[in-house]
Structure 1
Amino acid sequence: MGGLLGELGKKLAERWLTLLVLPGALYLAVATAGHTLGQSAALDVGRLAHAISDAARAPQVSAVGGQVLLLAAVLAGAAVAGLAAQSAGSVVERVALAAGWGAWPWPFGELAERHVARRQRRWDAARAEYEALRLRERAPRPADRPRPRDRHRAAHTCERISAERPERPTWSGDRIHAAAVRLDRDAYVNLLTVWPHLWLVLPEEVRGDIGRARAALTRAAVLGGWALLYLPLAWWWWPAVPLAATLVVISARRLRTASDTYATLLEASVRLHLMDLADKMRIEEQPMGPPLGRAVMRRLSSPAPVTEPAS
């Protein structure tokens, strides 16, 4: 038991050091450098080195007690910065996935609605072009058929906008929503309803893959949270702007990749293991598709509550 607790404590310490302290210490170092140099000498490395040397020779820092206090203050400040970045990352994740964007307050809800409508118009135009090229492929004369490159380019344009017709203001949100749309269209399965039950019957390896994909999505959002923390430093140190912009670009790319992987795993898990769930629920064997989906959803759907007559 003691060995298990010791191993658990070691893993928690490693996660605390990796996720909070190290990024937070880097943030504190950048904030200190920015405060020391200011806007006028933003890239003066010599001035920064001189300031560090002066601080290191201070009596408060050279003493053992001062060093211990300084280390404790740095660790505490780094942990606080890391927690702040994770909190900001949760906001970034909610915005990136945009699951409840219809309830966003004014003016964000109205702006999101206009953006969704604009994305839908672009997607409809790209889809129409793609379908027109597919029809031309049936032309009897080879000269009248489009080049495969044109068809692939039209399909890529559609995919770059959204995997299915846009319903959310962000690509990542639409990518996860597309998994639910496809399962509802192809198998008559409501992903939100079936997923908690399916999760209990998934193999451990599959659950591990899904968990890692979800963790990658969270880490990408936290990186965006760090960008939000670095941006205010530009008030007294302008190099914080390109640093924050770089973090935004990296976070956006990782969010896109992680959401695509996560959505693919969600959809594949349902398609591959829905029969396992049906077997656990003692549903008679059905072919994969609408019949099986209807049978599972009928079993999982809660009956409407019976209203008591007023006395």
Structure 2
Amino acid sequence: MGGLLAELGKKLAERWLTLLVLPGALYLATLITAVTLGHARPIDEHLMATRLDQWAMPGRTGRVVVLLAAYLLGSAAAGVAAQALAAMVERVWLAESWGSWPPPLRQAAARLTRRRHSRWSGAVKGYHEAREEAAAALARARLEEAPASGAPGRAASLSRLDAARRRLRDIGTEEPERPTWMGDRMQAVAIRLDRELDLDLATVWPYLWLTAPETVRTEITAARETLGRATTLAGWGVLYAAVGALWWPGLIIAAAVFGTGWRRARTAVDAYAELVEATVRLRTAALAGDLGLEHTGPLGPATGKAVTDLLRHRGPVP
């Protein structure tokens, strides 16, 4: 038992060092540079070296030890702040309950949602037009008894159809209901499962998670942790923006860090949503059997509705 606790403590210490102290130390070094140099002399190496020499003057060992301890504590505090900001960033990016946000944010989110919906409607129209054009080109090829791939305009119409499909997916795979792409990407899973399988994801998912094989849970957990790391990186980007108020190169760092976090988060959300939907479609039949429901053949709305109705919590009878 003692060995297990020691190993657990070692892993926690390593995680604390990796997630909080090391990134925090880099941030604190940047902040000290910003305070020392400011906007007037942003790349003055001589001034920075002089200040470092002053702090490390001989005979001030006690002061150096105190400064080092304060530096480590400050690094950890910066890491905690970055994780707190990451939680806020994730809440904004997923926008799960944007209708309950404070009025200014809620109004801005509503405008973004309307704008996304307008763009999506235009993209849907363009996609249908491109699909009809491709179908017409194929029909002409068949009438002329020419190979479909070599028919006049066929290749161009397929290229336009592919571009229209990409534009539509870049906005959303389902009709937008949230102000962000990431939020709609997660919501799209629930919408499709409800439409195609009559299954309520929020109701069924906890039970699917408990009965899923360990390999499935490992994959989903890894995808969720990837999203967490991406939002934490974005949280650091927000902190570096504060450095930019004192030292303009900090704005460049902030933009690079936040942008990298945003791109990684989009990829992680897409992978996470794919895994969740795949798990539901592959494991719901097994869950139905575990619940004592009869199921044969492909998964369909009847099974989805039966599982949802059985698991849905009902309030007390008045």
**TM-score when normalising by structure 1:** 0.94
* Percent pairwise identity: 47
Query: Residues 1-311 of structure 1 correspond to what in structure 2 (within 5 A)?
Result: 1-60=1-60, 63=61, 65-139=62-136, 140-142=139-141, 143=152, 147-287=157-297, 288-307=299-318
AA of the residue aligned to 1:305? P
Q: Residues of 2 paired with 1:297 and 1:117: CA distance? A: 31
CA contact (8 A) 1:126 1:157 kept: yes
Rounded Cα–Cα distance in structure 1 between residues aligned with 2:309 and 2:72: 54
Question: How far does residue 171 in structure 1 lie from its aligned partner after superposition?
Answer: 0.6
Q: Which amino acid aligns with 2:78?
A: A
What RMSD over aligned residues (CA atoms) do the two structures have, in Å?
1.4
Q: Which moved more, 1:278-287 or 1:197-206?
A: 278-287
Instruction: Give the C-alpha shift of residue 173 in structure 1.
Output: 0.6
Q: Give SS of 2:43's match.
A: coil
- Which ranges of structure 2 fall in alignment gaps of 5 or more residues? 142-151
Point out the more displaced range, 255-264 or 139-148: 139-148
SS at match of 2:211: coil
**Is the partner of 1:200 in helix, strand or coil?**
helix
Cα separation, 1, equivalents of 2:158 and 2:274: 26
SS where residue 103 of structure 2 aligns? coil
> How big is each residue's C-alpha offset from its partner over 1:217-273, in whole Å with a ceiling of 9 and x where there is no partner?
111111111111111222321111111111121111011011101111110111111
**Corresponding residue SS for 2:47:** helix
- Consecutive unaligned residues of structure 1, counting only runs of 5 or more, are none
Q: How many residues align?
A: 304
SS at structure 2 position matched to 1:138: helix
User: One-letter code of the match for 2:140?
Assistant: R
Distance in 2 of aligned mates of 1:17 and 1:67: 21
Q: CA deviation at 1:144?
A: 6.6
- Work out whether residues 117 and 175 of structure 2, in 8 Å CA contact, stay in contact via their aligned partners in 1: yes
**8 Å contact kept, 1:24–1:77:** yes
In structure 1, the residue corresponding to 2:8 is in which secondary structure? Answer: helix
The 3-state SS of whatever aligns with 1:107 is helix
Structure 1 runs (4+) deviating above 3 angstroms are 65-68, 142-146
Question: Using the alignment, how far apart are the partners of 1:244 and 1:46 within structure 2?
Answer: 25
Deviation of 1:66 (Å): 3.6
